[in-house]
Structure 1
Amino acid sequence: MQKKDQGMSKQIFVAYSYRLYAKRDYRKIFSNLESIYKVRFIFADEKITNMHIMQKIISYIKGADYSIFDISGWNPNVTLELGFAMGASSNWYIALDPDKTEMKEVPSDLRGIDRIQYSSFSDFEDKLTILLEQLYPKRENSSIDSYLDSKREDLLKFLAGQTEGLNIKEIAQSMGVEQRVAQILISPLINNKIRTSGQRKGMKYHIVKRGPTKGTKYTKKQRTV
């Protein structure tokens, strides 16, 4: 369940296997998003306290708006932390790279849960971008896929009403989203429902206007006197 805006700390606790990924590479994803969304991602090893490690983690989970548990590699420590969040009815999400995880090790009750599934750091950053768009702006909570489908419909309707092409910045501003989100929305529609003109920074996007089906014949309407 999504929290109300009032009283939000804009902090998100993140748990993952430190053995699986290089610290600098993995956390760069979150650093990029912090500056855009003005949120703070918290990791268990960032602060030195006099608390027991599990006490510290529990305090982070309780103090954060949301928690993300990356269960890639099915690390026992991450599993323990996830178990606490589930028991405490905290707002939590699961992330997973299936290529780095033996799915048979993951309990069946977790396999069916909607999750952030990624195949690369770039893919992970895209999925997190969409998640942050859902969590903090004032809109009704929904799944990532349904959010994307809805926004793509809005995008197509918007472009259909334009007399000329728009660049990515103009589209993002008009739709009230970050440029990266606009790119995620547009990408699968190119060469199908959206065409482009120009190159790189000057590229503009246009709606593909469908003409009559090939072979359709027209007959002149006979004038009546």
Structure 2
Amino acid sequence: MPEKHPEDQDPRTESDQRSEVGTERPGGDREASEMTADQGSAGATMGDHTSTPKASDVAELEDSLEVLKEMSSGSGEEDSVSRETQLQAQLERIQAEADTNKDKWLRSMAELDNFRKRSHQHLESSLNLARADVLKQVLEVLDNFERAMEAWDQAETSPDENFVKGVRLIQDQLLRVLRENRVEKIESIGEAFDPNLHEAVSQIETDEVQSQHVARVIKEGYRFHKTVLRPALVVVAR
């Protein structure tokens, strides 16, 4: 391989070589300039897209947001009112049912109380009727004692005094039993004739009592509570 001698080297200086390099390919410089310009234009276009929004756009967005808020708030209020209305209707329905049940309960209690009273009255009436039947039989026995006493008073010979006392004692005991059972003798002598209490067997002319008043009692009458066990048999003045 041949050796290069110093004289064979390029006689141009380094500055001349750099100058030539700098002046080569003038077309390349234009291309570089055009590329720079294109990049600048592209940058400007991108800058337009990322620039601050217009005031009208912002206002429109704010209005839309307010509308959404109002719609949301209105819907919530409507739901709240609707729920309150439902609860109020439910409360009124429950109150109406409670009033109806209370009215039914009061009616039932009143009916039960009336039933108890009727049952008590019916039982009391039945007992009184049963007592009245027994007391009527006792009155018949008492009548026999009274007839016996009247017969002894009219007898020509006086009966044994101790025997009479014994009979009167029994008679008094019967009267006491009757009083304890609320049996009362009907007062008749001198009283106005009452067909509910008296049974007239005859009439007489007398000045001892007023007309249409009881002048004499043939058989005593008795009543038990407000019930007449038997009316008194009487003679009425004309």
Q: TM-score range by the shorter chain?
A: under 0.3
Q: Structure with the greater relative contact order (CA < 8 A, sep ≥ 6): 1 or 2?
A: 1
Q: Which has the higher helix share?
A: 2
TM superposition score normalised by structure 1:
0.21
* Greater Cα radius of gyration, structure 1 or 2: 2
Name the TM-score, length of structure 2 as normaliser: 0.20
